[in-house]
Amino acid sequence: MMNKRNVIFKMAFGLLVFCLSMAPLHVSAVETINPVNPVNPGVNVLVEPDDLFPIMDEPVTSDLTLLHAGTVLDSNRWIQSFTKDSNYYYFVQMTNPDKGHLRITRVKYTAPHQYTKDHMDLLGFGHGTNIDCTVHNGRTYLWIGSLMDKKTKNTKAISCFRYVSGGIVRKKAGNTYKIRMKGRLKKAENVFPAVSQDGKYLFVRYTYQKKQYFQKYRIYSGCKIKNNHPLMKLCISATAGDFQGFDVYKNYIYTIEGSPTALFLSSFDKNRAFQSTIVRITNYKTASTTFKIITGAQSMSFREPEGIKVMKNRRVEILFVSNMLEKQRCNIYKLK
């Protein structure tokens, strides 16, 4: 009798499993999470729509054209900057802000929403606010701030090195240079590099007494400078909004500034005011400045600018970060 009951039970259980396996699977279109608010831990962060891929077609009146949408990097958050050569994009993320750990994800786009990627880790380098590259004899060299000060969290040097997939370097790499302020004996801090569009010159930005300075150096062999012999120094007022990166084209320094959306800030950090995305263009020979407020890419959540790249014929690309705080995505736009 017990054997018969066991057989019946097993048959019924098997039928139930079969029915469940045939039932349609329902998946929620929006993932609901409650990330910790690092500013006010007792207050939930408002989760905006999970827009992995922003709308491809910007309105005709938009000042932007979307090139690459929703790129997923090898870490989930703290996207800081980007650069590119003829084959790859290089995106920088902080993996541990307190320790200055960075991750560079190298991406090669093969089709819309399709790409290959790998990464390299930089430990103790700093904030990663700006990255750039030179190409010499077919070799790409990356330039980035390094030697983070443990107390101030400022970068104290510039490093230039070759990218190594899976590589791990500490504090500095390749050729590393401390930057002396032109006209002063003091070494600069909070230093970030950018390379002129023609690849001949390195520009180093640093801040001092609430102003921003740019110094110009000749690049030798694609990876070297004479750090004690700047060719030029320019001082201009600090950007009104949060500084998000810079690049150089001929006589012009392009800076970008701005904050995430007002909707995000209203929940994440009410003490931080919303700032429009602004590109400022300064002629370093005349010190004259013009600016443009970027109004496109309004369909995405978060929408924080995190870098600018100026290429041949003044083609300008801008990186906007989208999606939730814990699952950020990269979106590259061309400025019309």
Give the residue ranges of the chain where pLDDT is below 70: 1-56
What is the predicted pLDDT for the residue at 12?
45
Through-space distance between the first and last CA atoms of the chain, rounded to whole angstroms: 81
Q: What is the CATH number of domain 55-335?
A: 2.115.10
According to the model, what pLDDT value does residue 183 have? 83
Scan for tokens 């905006």, then name that residue.
48
The reported pLDDT for the residue numbered 274 is 94
Q: How far apart are CA 301 and CA 234, in angstroms?
A: 36
What are the φ and ψ backbone dihedral angles of 311, each rounded to 5 degrees? Answer: -115, -170
Distance CA 25, CA 40 (A): 37
Q: Is 125 left (phi over 0), alpha (psi -120 to 50) or beta?
A: alpha
Q: Which residues pair with 111 in a beta bridge?
A: 114
For the entire predicted model, the pTM comes to: 0.85
Q: Both tokens of residue 206? A: 């640093």
- For residues 308 and 314, what is the distance between their CA atoms, to the nearest angstrom? 12
* Residues 148, 194 contacting (CB under 8 angstroms): no
d(CA 243, CA 249) in angstroms, rounded, equals 18
pLDDT of residue 324: 74
Edge-to-edge order in the sheet of strand 64-71: 64-71, 329-335, 315-322, 304-311
Structure-token pair, residue 220: 């030798």
